[in-house]
């Protein structure tokens, strides 16, 4: 015979046997003897070419209506969220039964109750509507592991029922459909994951391409709006001190009005997300009791739907990413939240990196500025102290040389003043070296360093110093060094500007804090005026002390009076001990 049958097995558990007529001449084939069932099976396989899972289900309902000449049909499939497809003459009495079956299946699936069927068993539930005489059928849809994934419901014409062989065929077709739906769902999930991976890569590239925090925030918000297909977006950061959300960047109509606007943490859906650290969706914002109308009133924007996720860093919420008014009619869904959560997670890390970079950059600038200030200060001290003394010594040596030639009897009288000048130069030089790097601070700690510092001040300055301290302080080297630098800065300010007679320096420990106080009885100054005009000054004394205090989580309090019996300046540095000395 010029013909031979070929068995093709496609897509377990269906075995398709299609008779192919092959011409005697190689390369030529034609289909023969294609039964309606074979054609129907082929149509089932073509379902896999559907553009989407929803499209597949719609085609499948139509195919089943044709296969059993049903009046109406409904398919429910559950994969993270339910999919529904219906077709035919969907009379009210049909829908009542369909919905009853589907709700029971959906409750089990949403509750995570695994229902498993034995091989070869796919039960058919049947009901007869007494008013219409219609036979209603329901079959489960199952996965490859034979667990419940959904259901197929059909309404046969009045007076029509399925005999045994046709019921068996329907069971096999339902098995085939179950497998095809599972394959399509798996394919869609793979495509979705690939799309997400590509998207996450792009998000990561975009967020890691800059350390400019303003650009970073803008890029994050723009990405969220584009990915979610939303009409507007905003990114808010938490102001911990004031318990508020600050609109750092906004996108959309009237968004510029919100720049740097603030809302309390206990207000609106964004506030709810920030407080609870959980994402939120509402596709009817005005019906949501968490929604606040204040922002809409302020901007004239009409909020219809909202999706918001927290920006978390090390378990701590630092802000909220929010998108508004999705263009798609169905509104925001769990997939949108998942995408936003990934963007928010990467954005939080990028924001922290940008903040750390900014902090390092600021500290670097402070160090460079401090080095420049120290250079100027060292230059001034050397010029006013050792350099002047060395000049005087040089002149004295010239005078000694002249006396040795012309009045040698007067040489003995000239040596004591020269010796005093030399000793003072040595003292001043040692004081400068001590202030630059007190070795004792590293070896014996802050208290010993301050004691030696006061001794040197008393030797070289015309100022009465009153010093009281605790016996011992166990401080980390960085903290001790910073405190010493602040004391130096405060004392230098007194020496240069205060015209004081007395200076009080005290170190005490109270309630878990080290309190360092520098007080003088000088002429004082207008603190607000000095701080207001500070940018025009070449020196950065007060600002430098405040910034150094912030580096060790300390608080600096400055009070100054230019008149009255209490005139003078008090500088108080309050350093927490519990964390720093543990």
pLDDT digits (tens, 9 = 90+) for 83-104: 889 999 998 888 989 999 999 9
Whole-angstrom distance between the N-terminal and C-terminal Cα of the chain?
95
Query: 3-class SS at 253?
Result: coil
| pLDDT of residue 69 exceeding 70 | yes
Which segments within 424-567 are labelled E, that is strand?
Answer: 464-468, 502-510, 513-520, 555-561
Confidence category of residue 122, pLDDT binned at 50, 70, 90: confident
pLDDT at 308: 92
pLDDT at 15: 34
480 vs 447: CA distance, rounded Å? 9
349 vs 220: CA distance, rounded Å? 12
Contact 37, 63 (CB under 8 A): no
pLDDT at 525: 85
Query: Which pTM does this prediction carry?
Result: 0.44
Cis peptide bond prior to 318, omega within 30° of 0: no
Q: Is 417 left (phi over 0), alpha (psi -120 to 50) or beta?
A: alpha
Query: Which residue did the predictor score with more confidence, 149 or 204?
Result: 149
Contact 282, 313 (CB under 8 A): no
61 vs 285: CA distance, rounded Å? 35
Confidence category of residue 327, pLDDT binned at 50, 70, 90: confident
421 vs 16: CA distance, rounded Å? 113
pLDDT at 513: 92
Per-residue pLDDT, averaged over 108-133, amounts to 78
544 vs 541: CA distance, rounded Å? 5
By DSSP bridging, strand 280-282 and strand 513-520 are unpaired
Q: Let me know the angle formed at the C-alpha of 319 by 317 and 325, rounded to the nearest 5 degrees.
A: 125
Q: What is the DSSP string of 297-362?
A: HHH------EEEEEEEETTEEEEEEEEEEESSTT---HHHHHHHHHHHHHHHHHHHHHHHHHHHHH
Confidence category of residue 580, pLDDT binned at 50, 70, 90: very low
343 vs 202: CA distance, rounded Å? 10
Confidence category of residue 565, pLDDT binned at 50, 70, 90: confident
Per-residue pLDDT, averaged over 345-369, amounts to 76
| Percent residues over pLDDT 70 in the chain | 79
| pLDDT of residue 247 exceeding 80 | yes
Which of 423, 470, 430 has the alpha carbon at shortest distance from 450? 470
Contact 457, 465 (CB under 8 A): yes
Which residues, other chains included, contact 297 with Cβ-Cβ below 8 Å and sequence gap of 6+? Answer: none
Contact 306, 324 (CB under 8 A): yes
| pLDDT of residue 20 exceeding 60 | no
302 vs 289: CA distance, rounded Å? 16
């Amino acid at each position: 015979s010029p013909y031979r049958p070929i068995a093709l097995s496609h897509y377990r558990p269906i075995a398709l046997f299609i008779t192919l007529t092959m011409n005697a001449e190689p390369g030529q084939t034609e289909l023969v003897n294609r039964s309606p069932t074979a054609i129907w099976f082929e149509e089932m396989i073509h379902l896999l070419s559907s553009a989407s899972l929803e499209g597949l289900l719609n085609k499948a309902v139509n195919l089943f209506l044709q296969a059993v000449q049903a009046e109406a049909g409904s398919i429910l499939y559950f994969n993270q969220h339910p999919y529904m497809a219906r077709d035919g003459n969907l009379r009210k009495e049909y829908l009542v039964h369909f919905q009853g079956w589907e709700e029971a299946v959906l409750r089990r699936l949403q509750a995570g109750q695994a229902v498993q069927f034995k091989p070869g068993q796919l039960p058919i539930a049947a009901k007869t509507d007494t008013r219409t005489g219609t036979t209603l059928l329901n079959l489960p849809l199952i996965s490859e592991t034979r667990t419940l994934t959904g259901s197929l419901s059909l309404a046969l014409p009045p007076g029509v029922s399925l005999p045994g062989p046709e019921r068996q065929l329907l069971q096999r077709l339902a098995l085939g459909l179950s497998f095809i739906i599972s394959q399509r769902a798996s394919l869609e999930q793979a495509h979705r994951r690939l799309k997400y991976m590509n998207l996450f890569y792009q998000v990561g590239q975009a967020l890691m391409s800059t350390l400019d925090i303003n650009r970073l925030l803008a890029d994050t918000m723009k990405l969220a709006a584009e990915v979610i297909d939303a009409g507007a977006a905003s990114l808010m950061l938490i102001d911990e001190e004031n318990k508020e959300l600050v609109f750092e960047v906004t996108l959309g109509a009237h968004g510029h009005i919100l720049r740097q606007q603030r809302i309390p943490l206990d207000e609106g859906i964004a506030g709810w997300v920030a407080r609870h650290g959980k994402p939120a969706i509402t596709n009817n914002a005005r019906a949501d009791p968490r929604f606040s109308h204040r922002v809409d009133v302020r901007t004239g924007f009409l909020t219809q739907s909202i999706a918001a996720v927290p920006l978390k860093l090390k378990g701590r919420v630092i802000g909220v990413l929010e998108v508004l008014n999705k263009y798609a009619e169905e509104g925001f869904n769990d997939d949108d939240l998942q995408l936003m959560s990934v963007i928010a997670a990467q954005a939080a890390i990028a924001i922290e990196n940008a903040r750390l970079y900014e902090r390092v950059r600021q500290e670097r600038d402070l160090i460079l500025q401090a080095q420049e200030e120290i250079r100027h200060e060292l230059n001034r001290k050397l010029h006013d102290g050792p350099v002047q003394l060395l000049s005087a010594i040089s002149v004295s040596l010239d005078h000694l040389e002249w006396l040795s030639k012309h009045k040698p009897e007067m040489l003995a009288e000239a040596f004591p003043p020269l010796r005093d000048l030399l000793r003072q130069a040595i003292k001043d030089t040692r004081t400068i070296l001590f202030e630059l790097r007190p070795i004792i601070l590293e070896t014996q700690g802050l208290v010993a360093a301050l004691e030696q510092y006061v001794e040197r001040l008393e030797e070289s300055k015309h100022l009465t110093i009153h010093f009281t301290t605790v016996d011992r302080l166990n401080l980390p080297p960085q903290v001790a060094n910073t405190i010493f630098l602040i004391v130096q800065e405060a004392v230098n300010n007194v020496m240069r500007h205060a015209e004081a007679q007395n200076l009080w320096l005290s170190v005490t420990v109270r309630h878990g804090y080290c309190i360092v106080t520098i007080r003088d009885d000088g002429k004082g100054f207008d603190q607000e005026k000095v701080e207001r005009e500070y940018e025009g000054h070449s020196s950065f004394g007060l600002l430098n002390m405040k910034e150094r205090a912030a580096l060790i989580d300390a608080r600096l309090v400055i009070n100054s009076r230019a008149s009255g019996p209490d005139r003078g300046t008090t500088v108080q540095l309050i350093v927490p001990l519990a964390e720093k000395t543990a």
